[in-house]
Amino acid sequence: MSMSLPPAEGSVYTYERTFTEADVRQFGEVSGDQQAIHTEPDEEGRLVVQGLLTATLPTKIGGDLSYIARTMEFDFLEPVHTGNTIGCEWTNETVEERDDRYTLTSSVVCHNQEDETVMKGHIDGLIWKE
């Protein structure tokens, strides 16, 4: 999804993934977030996905756009469990062109497979002109 056109207000990008137990355990090792909800399965055999692991969905989209985030704010609204498929929708809210870059504000919304909103966020950043 590399950007070939200049960013535009209202542009929407999407990404979806299903989180696995291995994802949660590996992220726990890297981040140090080893709370019991991330290491001990519930009665259905699921782990709770770390919030910042869920936040890697918009990070993936931003990386594809060569977007350099300056600020990121997330609201975690519902738990995400292993086996959940989460879709993320990223929308460019504002785009300002400068001599060497575009400055942007973007919003993100992530939903689970039952269409429940699990995370919302706002990201401010820039994309360098090539």
CA dihedral sign, ordered 84, 38, 15, 76: positive
pLDDT per residue over 99-128, tens digit each?
Answer: 999 999 999 999 999 999 999 999 999 999
Which pLDDT score, from 0 to 100, does residue 118 have? 98
Question: What tokens appear for 126 in the block?
Answer: 């820039």
- Residue 1, pLDDT above cutoff 80: no
- Does the global pTM surpass 0.85? yes
Q: 30 burial class (0-12, 13-18, 19+ CB within 10 angstroms)?
A: exposed
Residue 15 lies in a domain: no
Residue 78 lies in a domain: yes
Which pLDDT score, from 0 to 100, does residue 2 have? 45
Q: Looking at the 3D structure of the chain, how many domains does it have?
A: 1
Question: What tokens appear for 54 in the block?
Answer: 């869920």
Which pLDDT score, from 0 to 100, does residue 4 have? 60
Residue 44 lies in a domain: yes
Range of the domain at 39: 20-128
Instruction: Tell me how many degrees the CA angle 44-58-63 measures, rounded to the nearest 5.
Output: 130
Average pLDDT of the segment spanning 13-24: 98
- Residue 3, pLDDT above cutoff 50: no
CATH number of the domain within which 119 lies: 3.10.129.10
Residue 90 lies in a domain: yes
Residue 4 lies in a domain: no
Which pLDDT score, from 0 to 100, does residue 108 have? 98
Residue 117 lies in a domain: yes
